[in-house]
């Protein structure tokens, strides 16, 4: 590989930029990252966002006020779909199973709501700010979504 | 980037739930994740959400990570996507579902990744220097740059010794293991 730094000045300038990038990281940003390992302790299945109508609708259709935004979180065994209304969320667990769903906001209390045998649940009012959903089936299987905002 | 035995060991320990090892990984890669977030000009709340999901995916992926050398590339890709996603709740963006750890060659051409890898190597090389070298170099690029007399006072070093010490420190930096992939071996 060719020499990357022809002169000491170039090396110093890059070193300085590298150290500055490190100094610029806000403490809260690193703390959020360090807290991420605790989530692993929950021993659940992570469901990641695989579909979001806000990001996949064709450009012209997005402005339709009547259309509901829908999101799909996909885990290994379970999918959680939600539709966003003006002031509430409707969701379904697939394949359908009963249990309990928790709404976990970044700050503030956790809300616990029932999920019926068809896998349906409703969250009113809809969460303000970022939150995660945590579904626990009647059999004790746990599925946790990523953070999202609606 | 070569496989770093330090990172490999940290990944193994973090996989077993070792918080200290995980913290070290976050400290190491947070500047990379943050610099990508910053480029997307996110609010604090959005940066927090995007960042959280990046780390969450990394925690989840630790078990399947085979090549720690691919980590910077993977992190840049995932962070970009998470940033676009938090913005896309409001505006249209395309989701990319694939976040498997890529092989090294898949992202080798990405200039951002190359730069971030180089910065990582520079920080690591710097951390390995002697205390005296780190203090001298830090003074040399602080703004406004202190005079040689000031540096001499602060480091208790003769003014005439600053130049040669600077040379030695930069030489040590160039010869350090983390920078080996970037520096041509001196002629024998």
C-alpha B121/C-alpha B137 separation (Å) is 16
- Do residues A102 and A131 lie in contact, with contact meaning Cβ atoms separated by under 8 Å? no
Closest residue on chain B to A71 (Cα): B89
Q: Which residues of B touch A147 (CB under 8 A)?
A: 49, 52-53, 56
Q: In this predicted model, what pLDDT tens digit does every residue of B1-46 receive, in sequence order?
A: 455 668 888 998 998 889 999 999 999 999 999 999 988 888 888 8
List the 36-65 stretch of A: residues with Cβ below 8 A of B. Answer: 36-37, 39-41, 46, 48-52, 54-57, 59, 62
Residue A90 Cα, gap to closest chain B Cα (Å): 18
Q: Which residues of B touch A37 (CB under 8 A)?
A: 14, 17, 19, 22, 59
C-alpha B1/C-alpha B108 separation (Å) is 9
Quote the pTM value. Answer: 0.76
CA atoms lying within 13 Å on the CB side of residue A50:
13
Mean pLDDT in consecutive groups of 10 residues from the start of chain A, 150 residues: 77 93 94 84 78 67 62 93 92 95 89 96 91 92 89
- Indicate the residue of A15, A46, A62 with minimum beta-carbon distance to B60: A46
Residue B185 Cα, gap to closest chain A Cα (Å): 9
Dihedrals φ, ψ of A129, to 5°? Answer: 85, -175
């Amino acid at each position: 590989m060719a020499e990357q730094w022809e002169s000491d000045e170039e090396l110093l300038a890059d070193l300085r930029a590298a150290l500055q990038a490190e100094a610029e990281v806000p403490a809260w940003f690193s703390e959020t990252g360090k807290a991420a390992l605790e989530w692993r302790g929950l021993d659940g299945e992570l469901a990641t966002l695989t579909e979001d109508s806000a990001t996949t609708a064709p450009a012209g259709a997005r402005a339709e006020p009547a259309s509901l935004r829908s999101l799909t979180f996909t885990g290994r065994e379970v999918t959680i779909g939600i539709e966003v209304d003006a002031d509430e969320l409707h969701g379904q667990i697939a394949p359908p199973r009963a249990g309990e769903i928790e709404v976990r906001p970044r700050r503030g209390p956790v809300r616990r709501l029932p999920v019926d045998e068809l896998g349906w649940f409703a969250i009113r009012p809809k969460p303000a700010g970022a939150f995660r959903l945590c579904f626990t089936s009647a059999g004790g299987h746990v599925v946790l979504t990523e953070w999202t905002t609606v | 980037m070569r496989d770093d035995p330090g990172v490999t060991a940290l990944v193994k320990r973090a996989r077993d739930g070792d918080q200290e090892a995980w913290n070290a990984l976050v400290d190491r890669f947070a500047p990379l994740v943050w610099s990508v977030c910053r480029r997307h000009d996110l609010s604090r709340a959005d940066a927090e959400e995007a960042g959280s999901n990046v780390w969450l995916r990394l925690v989840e992926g630790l078990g399947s990570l085979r090549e720690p050398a691919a980590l910077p590339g993977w992190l840049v890709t995932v962070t970009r996507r998470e940033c676009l996603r938090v913005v896309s709740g409001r505006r249209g963006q395309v989701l990319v579902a694939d976040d498997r750890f890529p092989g090294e060659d898949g992202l080798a051409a990405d200039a951002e990744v190359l730069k971030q890898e180089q910065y990582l190597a520079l920080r690591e090389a710097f951390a390995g220097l002697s205390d005296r070298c780190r203090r001298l170099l830090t003074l040399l690029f602080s703004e406004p740059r202190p005079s040689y007399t000031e540096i001499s006072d602060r480091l208790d070093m003769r003014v005439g010794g600053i130049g040669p010490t600077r040379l030695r420190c930069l030489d040590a930096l160039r010869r350090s293991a983390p920078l080996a992939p970037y520096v041509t071996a001196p002629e024998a």
